[in-house]
Structure 1
Amino acid sequence: MKMYQLFIMSLLLIVVSCTLDKTDYESEINTVVPEHYEFKQATAVNKDGYTISIETLNGIFYQGYNEIRLKVLDTQTNENINVSDVTFLPIMTKADGNKTSCPYQYTLDYKPDGKYYSGYSVFTDISNTAANWKLYLSFTVNKKMYKVNKDVTVNEQTNKNLNMTSFTGNDGEQYYIALIAPQKPKVAENKLVAGIYKFNKPVASTGNFPDPSQFSYSEVKGYTLQLDPRMPEPSMGNHSSPNNQDLIQGNNGLYHGVVNYTMTGNWTLNFIMLDQNGKIIKGTKVSTDFTPGVPGAKSELFIDTLF
């Protein structure tokens, strides 16, 4: 009997050891979750006496969702210039020369309170030897259009609560989900905000580069993102939490829901995405079985978080 107990204990140790080799949960839990709430200049470019300044949170372009604030200033006086028709187009050039983009807002909105133009970009890849990002910008002053471009560096997002995913839906369309809030969740019911976007398949090109019609994305309208958060660690047994709310689209175009984190640690946000007619675009139900000693099963569509 004693030998049998020793055998079982050894087997459990092997299982846990193998699991930790795959995912170092303890190391991840000790990670400090960064927060950034101050907008700083991420890049600037001069053109014919004008300075185009772009601000982001922390002054860095990150993989995932980035709120963009653009100002056009007089280079000598550093005062804001009255401009119109401000456009923003990010393009990534791959090592093989192919060009692609990411979800973004092409025509920026003017915010009179802050005297800047507002938009967003959901960078899908970090900058490296195989991917180079460049911003193509335009604005009009006194009926004259100015065009500029600027190479920028996109950094890895170290805050897992702002992770993103991309996938091909059951309808054959290319989709993107980017987490926007909360940056640093609490052990409580947290307001969960995400952007959902779709690539618009291009039609005939104008022949001019850059042609926005070849790099077009749109906000997904009227979908539902069903939510089932769980803790994937072997010691957590794949448990969930109560009082979560599915994400639905708000007036600002973003999707809003509630995620209830009952403790700190690694969480997986399991999703099922439904279109306006309730048809499943992507995602599968997650088993409710208690699974101690092994990582929890995940939906076909998920995003991992950590706090």
Structure 2
Amino acid sequence: MKTLKYIFAFLLISISVVSCSDDDDNTVIEDNPVEGLNKIYEISGANHVVEIYSEKQNLEIGYNEISIRIKDLSTNKYLNDAELNWMPMMNMTDRAHSAPHSMLSNAEESTVYKGHIVFQMASNETEYWELKLNYDINGESIEGVTRVSVLQPNDGMVKTQVFMGVDGVKYVLAYVGPQNPEVALNDMQAVLYKMEDMMNFPVVENYKVAIDPRMPGMGNHSSPNNIDLTYNSVNNRYDGKLSLTMTGYWKINLKLLNQADEILKGEDVTEDNPESSLYFELEF
């Protein structure tokens, strides 16, 4: 009888353990849509809060991908239908201007609104950037403003060019990727905008950015199989291929060409001209 009691007790314990294990396996763990991002700013309202995220610790001169969420404090839930618009503004001592930026968008059912801003200059004590947000919550139009700090890139590399083309148009060309370059044929991306006035920077479509990567410290040698950047209408970027044959410092010499293949800025690299006036820098 004692043996039967022990067996019965063992079976009860085993069933209990399996049941607990099954409960643990069935526990629903919510995905965090901003996992891996840094919350860099927050705008508080009467019944909601706006959270601003970035992959970087700080906003920098150049291309910045930014994610925004709006939390309704009355329900403690994030909104996915908030018709969100934004405008970056630089307040200088004698004037104000905006910056090239995309629209904010979110996928269906997503509470994360994504976009990018290309900041042309750093902020300081007297000249500063503000991010203005306009959005609707339950039919109410709301405006939020926060002052943001824009720093020089941590790596000190030139990845943004603001210049006048031979056509008299002012352009903003910014490096997007690769963010983690390898000794390989890398996918390369950039964005190109033109300045219509101090507030409007439309995307430039169907131009070409010719690339010629060189290693100045290694005899200014180039690399094979590079593919020039051409316009991608799906993401409004310029895509191509960047060949990097070794680690170290690279200068990516550039030329901007219009639809008629006329060079608007930049020069060929030759023995007499070791670098273009239009370029990005990369070190890895």
TM-score (norm. length: structure 2): 0.82
1:47 Cα deviation (Å)?
1.8
- Which one of the candidate residues 187, 195, 198 is aligned to 2:194? 198
Match of 1:99?
A: 96
In 2 relative to 1, CA 274–41 (structure 1 residues): closer, same or farther, beyond 3 Å? same
Match of 1:183?
A: 179
| Structure 1 residue 246 corresponds to structure 2 residue 228 | yes
In structure 1, the residue corresponding to 2:201 is in which secondary structure? strand
Matches within 5 A, 1:1-307: 38-75=36-73, 77-94=75-92, 96-105=93-102, 107-112=103-108, 114-159=110-155, 163-201=159-197, 215-233=199-217, 236-250=218-232, 251-287=234-270, 289=271, 297-307=274-284
1:59 Cα deviation (Å)?
4.3
Q: Which runs of 4+ in 1 moved over 6 A?
A: none
1:298 Cα deviation (Å)?
1.1
CA distance in 2, matches of 1:119, 1:278: 30
With 243-252 and 37-46 compared, the bigger mean Cα shift is at 37-46
CA distance in 1, matches of 2:275, 2:85: 39
CA distance in 2, matches of 1:271, 1:304: 11
In 2 relative to 1, CA 190–160 (structure 1 residues): closer, same or farther, beyond 3 Å? farther
In structure 1, the residue corresponding to 2:143 is in which secondary structure? strand
Between the two structures, name the one with larger relative contact order (CA 8 Å, sep ≥ 6).
1
2:69 touches 2:78 (CA, 8 Å); kept in 1?
yes
1:52 Cα deviation (Å)?
0.9
1:163 Cα deviation (Å)?
1.7
CA distance in 1, matches of 2:156, 2:110: 29
2:60 touches 2:152 (CA, 8 Å); kept in 1?
yes
Q: Which amino acid aligns with 1:298?
A: E
CA distance in 1, matches of 2:179, 2:160: 13
Q: Percentage identity across aligned positions? A: 31
1:171 Cα deviation (Å)?
1.1
CA distance in 2, matches of 1:162, 1:302: 8
CA distance in 2, matches of 1:82, 1:264: 43
| Count of matched residue positions in the alignment of Structure 1 and Structure 2 | 249
Computing the radius of gyration from Cα coordinates, the structure with the larger value is 2
1:139 Cα deviation (Å)?
0.1
RMSD: 2.0
In 2 relative to 1, CA 162–257 (structure 1 residues): closer, same or farther, beyond 3 Å? farther
1:300 Cα deviation (Å)?
2.0
Q: Which amino acid aligns with 1:41?
A: K
1:73 touches 1:80 (CA, 8 Å); kept in 2?
yes
Q: Which amino acid aligns with 1:244?
A: N
